[in-house]
Amino acid sequence: MKIIIIGFLTAFVFVTINRNSLADIIHKEQERALSQSPLKSAEGLFEGIATQKEFRNQYLNDIIDLHKRNKNDTIIILEKYHFTCTGCPADFVEINLHSQSVKYEMKMDGAKFGEYSRQVLKKNNKFNAADENIKIIIREIKKGKNPNIEADKYGTDDCYDGSQIMYTLILPDDNIKCMYMRCWN
């Protein structure tokens, strides 16, 4: 009985450390992406990603689970922030693999604000035309480039769209890369 309890506690501590370290690494990489971005609007998202670090706990288990089950695949996390809300969490989150997508939308009713509704969708094994932006990021990373530094090559601050997007990629080798984008060209 003692062995079972010790095993359970060890597993619990390992998962907790794993969750916390992943959350910290994602946050640090997102800060780095914002700092490196040539887009001026990136400066306004530092408070948002600090807030999102707390909210990310609602979907961190999905990220960990999908990564463990798909070690040879790149996981793409898209966190969409409303441009006019400084310091607010992402109102839409999508975790993508080629075969599956998990979407979270912020509940906006007063009593439940701060909670996400979750939806799991099956996808075909290929990214579709709407995923062209993600293909650009992956292609540049495979070339050894940092697409975030050249974000102005792919997008602009000069737009009237109401959102900002932080892309986080968890690569098969466990490296994490992030890119900020205001509006794609």
Q: Which residue has the tokens 């900020």?
A: 180
| Structure confidence at residue 32 (pLDDT) | 94
| Structure confidence at residue 122 (pLDDT) | 72
Question: Tens of pLDDT along 40-49?
Answer: 989 999 999 9
Question: Tens of pLDDT along 105-149?
Answer: 887 665 455 677 888 877 655 544 446 777 788 888 888 888 888
- CA distance to 36, 47, 106, 128, 139, per residue, from 151 (Å): 9, 20, 27, 22, 14
98 or 143, which is more confident: 143
Q: Which residue has the tokens 């001026």?
A: 40
SS3 content of the chain, % helix, strand, coil (to 5): 45, 25, 30
Express as a percent the part of the chain with pLDDT over 70. Answer: 81
Lowest mean pLDDT among 59-68, 94-103, 171-180: 94-103
Q: Following DSSP, what letter does each residue of 70-111 receive, concatenated?
A: TTTS-EEEEEEEETT-TTPPPSEEEEE-SSEEEEEEE--SGG
Q: Taking a C-beta distance cutoff of 8 angstroms, is the pair 128, 119 a contact?
A: no
| Structure confidence at residue 146 (pLDDT) | 85
Question: Tens of pLDDT along 163-182?
Answer: 889 999 998 888 999 999 88
In the numeric block, which tokens belong to residue 38?
């040539």
Lowest mean pLDDT among 3-17, 43-57, 102-116: 3-17
Going by the DSSP 8-state scheme, the letter that residue 58 receives in this structure is G
- CA distance to 25, 26, 102, per residue, from 14 (Å): 16, 18, 24
Spans of all domains in the chain: 2-184
**Beta partners for residue 104, in sequence order:** 93, 118
| Structure confidence at residue 112 (pLDDT) | 54
